[in-house]
Amino acid sequence: MKKIHWTLETLSCKVVWFLSTVIFVLLTGTGLIFTRYFAADYNGEIPYVKIACFPLTLLAALLIGGIIYAIADRVSEDGQRGKKQVQFILACVLLWCIAFGTAWVLLAVSTPVSDQAMVTSSAERFLEGDYGRLGYSKYLYYYPFQISLAAFEELVFYLFGVNNYTAFQLLNVLEITGTVYAGYRITALLFDRRKVEVSYLLLAAVCFPFLIFSAYVYSDVVAIFMSVVLIWQTLSLLKTGKKRYILGMILAASLAVLLRSNSLIILIAVCCVLVVKAISEKKWIYLLCILLMGAGILGSRETLYRYYEEKSGMELNDGMPSVLWIAMGMQEGDKEAGWYNGYSMYTYQDVCLYHGPTAKVLGIAEIKARAKGFLKDPLYAVDFYFRKFTSQWNDPTYGCFIMTHATDLERNALGISMYDGNIKKLLEHFMDPYQLLIYGSILFLLLYRRKEKRSVEWYILLIGVLGGVLFHELWEAKSRYVLPYFIIMIPMAAAGLSELGDAVGRWRTKDEAVKAG
């Protein structure tokens, strides 16, 4: 029986390793060849294709990686001295995240538009006792999942003042800083090497797409924060066995999923690890953790919904069926394969007159029709999903500029440069090789250490990435949507960069020894 349990974990690890290697071969290969970008005039969210200058992109990635490794390599692995060095770098990076994020928020003076504006205005109306947006044909009638974010924004506006977008954005800054710290703790739990920890901190410090999203008045940042905290708490439970981490898991999972439903992907990755560990080690408390997290998620959502039903005197609608987003994710459009083309809203609002069951039937029929077309023309299917994949994962900005550039105020010269001038160009030129460095470092780690036996929790971040790839090949596409998975790649990339630097050092030492001999 013990052998079967051991085989289950080993088999799980091998499957994850193989699938992850395939994905990162694809990510690294496409990153070397081309990049996706949006027009400089912000005229439409269309992910254009630009052929990369292969030698320059690779050279820049190696240069960035070399500088980071050179700094990390100077940190002592032993004694209190090394510990203090890491703590000093940690403090510097956290302060940098606060300083950069705050400066960006104040200079960007970004204004909510589109869905952001609808949620913020709903929150403002809630404060005034106006719940009309919950009524028939209104925004929260067909998007009831946005009630959670509206409630969060209502709380922020209650505490800091109505229309105080800056307060929400500064909270984003703190959440980004918290994410970096939680990622540092994850790195320490997974690798327990100061060189890797410092490499992570430096890589996180220059993850400008995430830092720039501090100006985004939406749930992305707080959901990423809670998702990373969930992984941190899970790994802490698995490593120490201390049950106090279960409460952190429940709270983080509940808030992450409540504020952004796509956080379920990270939760599923956590649950996969817990199931394997429960079976292989016969620790059924891990299954209890899954049940408690599920209860926390369902309970928090049900409580929130019932609260607004009581306040408004209206029964909340079930909203637009999710199959419409899947169907739209299988269609062409004026942007790119699987990107938003208005199909979901047109079907639900204009064709079905907000009748969910009918819209669901039509959505399923569209999915079947598109699947049949893909089966008839496999080459087109490959082309479609390749374009959809690269349009999301090969945009090194992850939409950070185009999603935060709108403003009702006049920016000063520095603010204009951030979105239309040299600062933006400089950051874009950096983000492209930086993305390649992250992808390539993980690929090196997977290949270089392929024969080492690992426990399944070592793969928890990669399981989350695999889930993100699968889900966003099915769902409506947008490069912003895959940012959470890029963030959780950074600890693995730090380990890969450290392994690569060490390997180069050993090769150089060996070569010098041979020449000297």
Q: What contacts 24+ positions apart, CB below 8 Å, involve 104-107?
A: 104/211, 104/212, 104/214, 104/215, 104/418, 105/166, 105/169, 105/170, 105/172, 105/173, 105/214, 105/215, 106/166, 107/411, 107/412, 107/414, 107/415, 107/418
Q: Which residues contact 461 (CB under 8 A, 6 or more apart)?
A: 186, 190, 231, 269, 488, 489, 491, 492
Which pLDDT belongs to residue 512? 55
232 residue type, one letter: W
Helix (H) or strand (E) holding 499: helix 483-516
* Rounded CA separation 513/517 (Å): 6
Q: Which residue has the tokens 């090497």?
A: 193
Q: Residue 274: CA atoms inside 13 Å, Cβ hemisphere, count?
A: 26
Question: What percent of the chain stands above pLDDT 90?
Answer: 85
DSSP structure string for 394-451 = T-TTTTTTTTT---SS---HHHHHHHHSHHHHHHHHHHHHHHHHHHHHHHHHHHHTTT
* Rounded CA separation 309/178 (Å): 33
- Which letter, b or e, does each residue of 70-100 get, where b requires 16 or more Cβ atoms within 10 Å of its Cβ? eebeebeeeeeebeeebeebbeebbebbbeb
Q: Which residues contact 319 (CB under 8 A, 6 or more apart)?
A: 141, 142, 143, 144, 145, 356
Which pLDDT belongs to residue 515? 57
- How distant is the alpha carbon of residue 392 from its chain centre? 12
Region for 14 from its dihedrals, namely left if φ exceeds 0, alpha if ψ lies in -120 to 50, beta otherwise:
alpha
Cα R_g (the chain), whole angstroms: 23
* Rounded CA separation 52/418 (Å): 23
Residue 139 contacts residue 133 (beta carbons within 8 Å): yes
Residue 427 contacts residue 211 (beta carbons within 8 Å): no
Pair of tokens at residue 140 = 């929260």
* Rounded CA separation 404/480 (Å): 11
Which pLDDT belongs to residue 513? 53
Which pLDDT belongs to residue 72? 92
Pair of tokens at residue 438 = 């992250």
Query: Cα separations (Å) of 462 from 86, 200, 354, 458, 476?
Result: 25, 16, 39, 9, 22
Longest Cα pair distance anywhere in the chain, in angstroms? 86
Pair of tokens at residue 502 = 């060490």
What angle in degrees, to the nearest 10, is found between the helix axes of 460-474 and 2-33? 60
pLDDT in tens, the chain (517 residues): 444 445 788 899 999 999 999 999 999 999 999 999 999 989 888 999 998 778 899 999 999 999 999 999 998 777 788 888 999 999 999 999 999 999 999 999 999 999 999 999 999 999 999 999 999 989 999 999 999 999 999 999 999 998 899 999 999 999 999 999 999 999 999 998 899 999 999 999 999 999 999 999 999 999 999 999 999 999 999 999 999 999 999 999 999 999 999 999 999 999 999 999 999 888 889 999 999 999 999 999 999 999 999 999 999 999 999 999 999 999 998 899 999 999 999 999 999 999 999 999 999 999 999 999 999 999 999 999 999 999 999 999 999 999 999 998 889 999 999 999 999 999 999 999 999 999 999 999 999 988 888 899 999 999 999 999 999 999 999 999 999 999 999 999 999 999 998 888 777 666 555 555 5
**pTM given for the model:** 0.94
Handedness of CA 401, 24, 452, 484 (dihedral sign): positive
Q: What is the 3 state secondary structure string of 210-263?
A: HHHHHHCCCCHHHHHHHHHHHHHHHHHHHHHCCCHHHHHHHHHHHHHHHHCHHH
Which pLDDT belongs to residue 80? 80
At residue 196, the 3 state secondary structure works out as helix
456 residue type, one letter: V
Query: Cα separations (Å) of 253 from 22, 182, 258, 278, 460?
Result: 29, 14, 8, 19, 15
506 residue type, one letter: R
